[in-house]
Amino acid sequence: MGDIFSNLGLGFGVVFQLVQWTPAFLGGASIPIPVNILLCLIGALVGTLVGVLPGIGTIATVAMLLPITFGLPPVGALIMLAGIYYGAQYGGSTTSILVNIPGEAGSVVTALDGFQMAKQGRAGPALAIAAIGSFFAGCVATVLIAVLGAPLTKLALAFGPAEYFSLMVLGLIFAVVLAKGSVLKAIAMIVLGLLLSMVGSDIETGASRMAFNIPELADGLGFATVAMGLFGFAEIIRNLDAGGESDRELVQQKVTGLMPTRKDMIDSTPAILRGTVLGSILGILPGGGAVIASFAAYTLEKKISKNPQRFGRGAIEGVAAPESANNAAAQTSFIPLLTLGIPPNAVMALMVGAMTIHGIVPGPQVMQKQPELVWGMIASMWVGNLMLLVINLPLVGIWVRLLRVPYRLMFPSIVIFCAIGIYSVNNAPVDVILAGAFGLVGYWLIKHDFEPAPLLLGMVLGPLMEENLRRALLISRGDWSVFLTRPLSAVLMAIAAALLVLAILPSLRKKRDEVFVESEN
């Protein structure tokens, strides 16, 4: 325990380090500047901004800003990049709640109840609870990294292809529970999502699949492209449709209270706690950990709620749980990077690049060799989370006021920001056209009561599921029993089977109908 305190002391020492700045105009006098704190603040601010602008994802931003950090000292550079990463998780919820556009895979579920809350004039409490939940989750995850980082690494390593496949199966069952309408339609959407995820190159042979010889499709459909189309553009078309405008005006008139009420806080507290626990555990897993975490947290809340029909209609737990989960997961996803030097996702891979350029190649010894880097980053996360809370709570008022902007002015700006965001991901014009096409598809889906959220989950899970299934079977030489003989995988499969049985057992059928099938009106 003493070790942890001395390590954290070292970390905070690094974060609060003062650098003497001696500008010429002061004639030799020097001013102490807390450089790392400033870099953390810049990172958090940029991250929030990026999260708020729909479409411009974390990966694109970190990639664009990476060259700027080359001139900075390595600790400062990484503190800033980390700030962008978790700052974007805070900001990502804003567009989900205000305009129903999830900027990140992790905030898709936030849109389900968050946007409904905004429609009821409760955008303020939704945004505030997202920030508070994220802050709490961030604090817990930071402590977790400091105390349990090393032992938790073993969990990440124990997760082989078979375990991942079983986790993804569980994820698909979560997707069914997401639906607030017909279960059959939800399943149809998941399958369509899985099919869309098959577009691209075959992982084993590299052969092109369903790409129709269009070179831009060779790497598959981007998540941002489909999400912007199905959520953002489709929502806009629907709003411009007859009746949409009055619906929007309703939103603008009804705005009440910016901060959560006492009841909101009481309702959200357990959801935040559960979301934090789920997010912290799933975040450690490389790959889709953070996304699964937000979906799992939402599913859990809906499952254990006394009146699950509130979900999808503006339940504050439906915002609090996934937002806490995705922020906790964003934080704990640093564990494999800090303890093993292995980047668990694309953003972390860019951070490894940043370290490499500074001459630090992260590996299993990075904690011993670069303690001030590792502990400085861990300490900066807590400081950054506090900054984000301070930045975000006052911003809630401004965001809510944005809703009062007349829709005829608002929708063209949303379209433009989305288009810029989508283009910036790959610098490819085709992506913007595709998003437009998905906007039309999304409009048709809304009109026929199909929900886009299960489709997006299918799209995120599809490649992970396929790749890990094929890897697991390659390693086991085609023996399917591998999913049941490996203990971790068997446990995940058992949970998935239990959830399925719960849905199928005839005696429970009536109850399931209450849970899943709720008509829109």
Question: Contact residues for another protein (CB under 8 A)?
Answer: 63, 66-67, 70, 156-161, 201, 203-206, 215, 218-219, 286-287, 336, 340-344, 346, 348-354, 356-357, 359, 361-366, 426-427, 467, 470-471, 474-475, 477
- Would you put residue 268 in left (φ > 0), alpha (ψ -120 to 50) or beta? alpha
Least distance CB 491 / another protein (angstroms)? 18
Q: List, as one string, the DSSP characters of 33-79.
A: E-HHHHHHHHHHHHHHHHHHSSS--HHHHHHHHHHHHTTS-HHHHHH
Nearest CB to another protein, comparing residues 251 and 464 = 464
Cβ atoms of 293 and 330 closer than 8 Å:
no
Nearest CB to another protein, comparing residues 117 and 482 = 482
Q: Write the secondary structure of 458-514 as one string of H (helix), E (strand) and C (coil).
A: HHHHHHHHHHHHHHHHHHCCCCCCHHHHCHHHHHHHHHHHHHHHHHHCHHHHHHHHH
Residue 249, token pair as written in the block: 């005006």
Please tell me whether residue 21 adopts helix, strand or coil conformation. strand
Nearest CB to another protein, comparing residues 156 and 515 = 156
Nearest CB to another protein, comparing residues 491 and 508 = 491
Least distance CB 457 / another protein (angstroms)? 19
Least distance CB 473 / another protein (angstroms)? 10
Nearest CB to another protein, comparing residues 306 and 477 = 477
Report the amino acid identity of residue 64.
M
Please tell me whether residue 206 adopts helix, strand or coil conformation. coil
- Would you put residue 483 in left (φ > 0), alpha (ψ -120 to 50) or beta? alpha
Least distance CB 165 / another protein (angstroms)? 13
Least distance CB 53 / another protein (angstroms)? 20
Nearest CB to another protein, comparing residues 181 and 341 = 341
Residue tagged 């929007």 (tokens): 248
Least distance CB 428 / another protein (angstroms)? 8
Nearest CB to another protein, comparing residues 204 and 247 = 204
Least distance CB 196 / another protein (angstroms)? 18
Least distance CB 206 / another protein (angstroms)? 3
Residue 24, token pair as written in the block: 């010429």
Least distance CB 366 / another protein (angstroms)? 7
Residue 235, token pair as written in the block: 């929502």
What does each C-alpha distance from 108 to 279, 320, 480 come to in angstroms? 15, 13, 33
Task: Give, for 201, the enclosing helix (H) or strand (E).
Answer: strand 200-201
Least distance CB 105 / another protein (angstroms)? 16
Contacts by 9-12 with C-beta closer than 8 Å and gap 24+?
Answer: 10/371, 10/372, 10/375, 10/376, 11/372, 11/374, 11/375, 11/376, 11/377, 11/378, 11/379, 11/380, 12/379, 12/383
Nearest CB to another protein, comparing residues 125 and 362 = 362
- What sign does the CA torsion over 75, 81, 84, 86 have? negative
Nearest CB to another protein, comparing residues 20 and 213 = 213
Residue 343, token pair as written in the block: 């980047």
Phi, psi values for residue 206, rounded to 5°: 80, 0
Least distance CB 351 / another protein (angstroms)? 8
User: Cα 348 vs. chain centroid, distance in angstroms?
Assistant: 14
Nearest CB to another protein, comparing residues 340 and 395 = 340
Nearest CB to another protein, comparing residues 157 and 498 = 157
Of 420, 379, 487, nearest in space to 155 by CA: 487
Cβ atoms of 79 and 15 closer than 8 Å:
yes
